[in-house]
C-alpha cells in the first residue's frame, strides 16, 4: 500500500533555561571508572589520567578510542533500559581492526590512505558506505541502520567509531538517553513508532536538553526492512536548556509504522528527555 505522510510543527517551547545534561544518564559498563560524559573529549581527560601516553604500551589512538568507548557503551546501556538493543565500538581499523555487529571497516588500510582519498569504507550486508576523514555518516538501507565517525587520522593508524541499531526502542520513551558525541561528531538516535490502529493523525511530544542553541533535524523513515524510505523531514531550533517540540504527523490513508530519527547538530551536548505520543501506541 502506498502512503502519503506529512508532518507539521504544532509548537516549540523552552521549558526552562536551566539544564543538566548528565542527570539520569548511565555510566559506562565497559569503563565504569570514567565519569558520565556526552562527548568523548570530556571523557578523554579521565582516560588520560588513568593511562598516560608512553609511546610503548599506551599510544594516542588508545586514549581516543577509550574515551569513545566510554561514551558510546554508556549510551548502549541507556538504550537497553528502553527494552531495545544497539551495538557500538571504537578502535583502530588498521590494526587490530574494527567490527561492530554487521558492520566492518576494511582492515589493513593505513591512515595515510584514508587521509589521501578522504574516507574510510564500511561494509554491511546491504552494501558499503563511506565515512569522511574527520567526519561522520549515517547508513540506512533495508534492515541495516548504522552510523560511523572517523574523528582522528594518523599516518598508519586512525580512529573510527561504529554504531548499529539492532532493535529499535519503541515510543513512548520515558527514560533519558544521550546523543553520543565522538569528539564533536554527534550521532543521531532512532525510535520505532507503530500505531496500534489505523489513524490519520499522530501527535508526538519530544523533549530534549541542549547545552547550547542549535538546530535539530527530525526525519520519518520507513520501518525495519525499509529504512532507506523517507516519509518526511523537518528541523527545529532550540535554545540552551530544556525544550519541547510537538509534531503532528498526518497519513493518507493512515499513518504507517515508521522510524523516527532525531539528529542534533555537531559540537553540541544533547540528551533526549522523553517522547510522548497520542493516540497511545
pLDDT of 95 reads: 85
pLDDT tens for 170-211 read: 999 999 999 999 999 999 999 999 999 999 999 999 999 999
The CATH number of domain 4-20+168-278 is 2.60.120? yes
- Class of residue 175 by CB neighbours under 10 A (exposed 0-12, middle 13-18, buried 19+): middle
List the one residue out of 278, 265, 280, 281 whose CA is nearest residue 205: 278
For CA atoms 236, 242, 243, 249, give the dihedral sign.
positive
Comparing 39 with 45, the larger pLDDT belongs to: 39
Written as one string, the DSSP assignment of 194-232 is --SS--SEEEEEEEEEESS-EEEEEEEE--TT-TT-EEE
Over range 255-259, report the average pLDDT: 97
Helix axes 60-81, 40-50, angle to 10 degrees: 120
Instruction: Assign 16 a pLDDT band (cuts: 50, 70, 90).
Output: very high
Is residue 27 a contact partner of residue 11, using CB atoms and an 8 Å limit?
A: no
Instruction: Assign 112 a pLDDT band (cuts: 50, 70, 90).
Output: very high
Is pLDDT at 54 greater than 60 in this prediction? no
List the one residue out of 277, 275, 217, 202 whose CA is nearest residue 244: 275
Radius of gyration, alpha carbons of the chain: 19
pLDDT tens for 119-141 read: 999 999 999 999 999 999 999 99
Terminus-to-terminus CA distance in the chain, angstroms? 21
Over range 104-116, report the average pLDDT: 94
Domain ranges of the chain: 4-20+168-278, 40-167
Task: Give the global pTM.
Answer: 0.95
Amino acid at each position: 500500500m502506498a502512503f502519503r505522510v506529512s508532518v507539521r510543527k504544532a509548537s516549540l517551547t523552552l521549558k526552562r533555561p536551566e539544564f543538566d545534561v548528565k542527570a539520569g544518564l548511565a555510566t559506562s559498563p565497559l569503563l565504569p571508572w570514567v565519569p558520565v560524559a556526552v562527548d568523548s573529549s570530556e571523557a578523554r581527560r579521565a582516560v588520560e589520567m588513568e593511562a598516560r601516553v608512553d609511546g610503548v604500551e599506551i599510544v594516542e589512538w588508545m586514549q581516543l578510542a577509550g574515551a569513545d568507548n566510554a561514551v558510546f557503551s554508556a549510551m548502549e546501556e541507556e538504550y537497553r533500559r528502553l527494552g531495545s538493543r544497539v551495538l557500538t565500538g571504537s578502535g583502530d581499523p588498521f590494526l587490530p581492526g574494527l567490527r561492530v555487529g554487521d558492520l566492518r571497516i576494511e582492515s589493513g588500510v593505513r591512515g595515510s590512505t584514508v587521509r589521501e582519498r578522504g574516507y574510510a569504507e564500511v561494509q554491511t550486508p546491504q552494501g558499503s558506505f563511506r565515512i569522511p576523514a574527520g567526519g561522520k555518516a549515517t547508513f540506512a538501507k533495508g534492515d541495516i541502520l548504522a552510523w560511523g565517525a572517523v574523528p582522528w587520522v594518523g599516518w598508519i593508524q586512525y580512529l573510527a567509531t561504529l554504531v548499529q541499531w539492532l532493535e529499535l526502542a519503541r515510543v513512548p520513551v520515558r527514560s533519558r538517553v544521550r546523543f553520543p558525541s565522538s569528539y564533536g561528531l554527534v550521532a543521531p538516535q532512532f525510535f520505532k513508532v507503530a500505531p496500534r490502529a489505523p489513524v490519520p493523525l499522530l501527535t508526538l511530544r519530544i523533549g530534549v536538553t541542549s547545552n547550547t542553541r542549535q538546530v535539530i533535524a527530525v526525519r520519518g523513515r520507513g520501518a525495519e526492512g525499509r529504512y532507506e524510505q523517507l516519509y518526511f523531514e523537518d528541523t527545529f531550533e532550540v535554545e540552551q536548556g530544556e525544550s519541547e517540540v510537538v509534531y503532528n504527523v498526518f497519513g493518507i490513508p493512515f499513518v504507517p509504522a515508521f522510524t523516527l530519527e532525531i539528529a542534533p547538530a555537531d559540537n553540541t551536548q544533547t540528551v533526549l528527555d522523553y517522547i510522548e505520543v497520542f493516540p497511545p501506541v
